[in-house]
Amino acid sequence: MPNIAASDVVVNLLSRPGRRLVEGVKQVYADIVFGDASLDYPAGGFPMPDLSVFGLLKDCFFIDIEQPGNGFLYQYVRATHKMKIVQSLGGIPAGTVTVVDHTHDLRLIGGITAAEAVACDGAALNFGKNAATNRVIAGANEATKGGVVPKTGLTGSYNGTAGSPGPFSEYSGKPAVTTIRLRLEGN
């Protein structure tokens, strides 16, 4: 399949605020529409239409991109006048994961018939006590009061690979129809 070309990028200038002059600098607001799931995204980004399509005749020294929130990030590459698409690789970076020592509250459920000395009923294996009221032992110390045994000193590691790609990589594939709002400044 062919790559996305500048002629495949549709530019819609916005009438409000559209084009305006601020201290000798022209500001242009526009939506660009590209992609249709049939054209390939070229490595390094797809070419943008000529600046004259945006109403800039000499130079564009600033482009602000409103990210569309579709899971991709869009970056303008000034040196090549291309729009680059990047995506998150996700995951957790390599390193050590530490679990903080902690305790748990323990609730004894009231109103069960105790079948064993440890207050477990035989049918549903509920943990509780004979009285109909519930009781919470806050931060139970299992050594003196019974309760949940805390796990301490837990550490582990995520097996990341040295030299693996960073958290973002350039997109490859056929992008769906996408609209991005731009604010350009230039003259």
CB 76 within 8 A of CB 65: yes
What are the tens digits of pLDDT across the range 167-177?
A: 678 999 999 99
What are the tens digits of pLDDT across the range 117-141?
A: 555 666 666 667 777 777 776 766 6
CB 176 within 8 A of CB 37: yes
Spell out the domain ranges in the chain: 6-91+164-186, 102-150
What are the tens digits of pLDDT across the range 85-119?
A: 998 765 545 555 555 666 666 566 677 676 655 55
CA dist., res. 50 & res. 55, Å (int): 9
pTM of the model: 0.57
- Beta-bridge partners for 73: 86
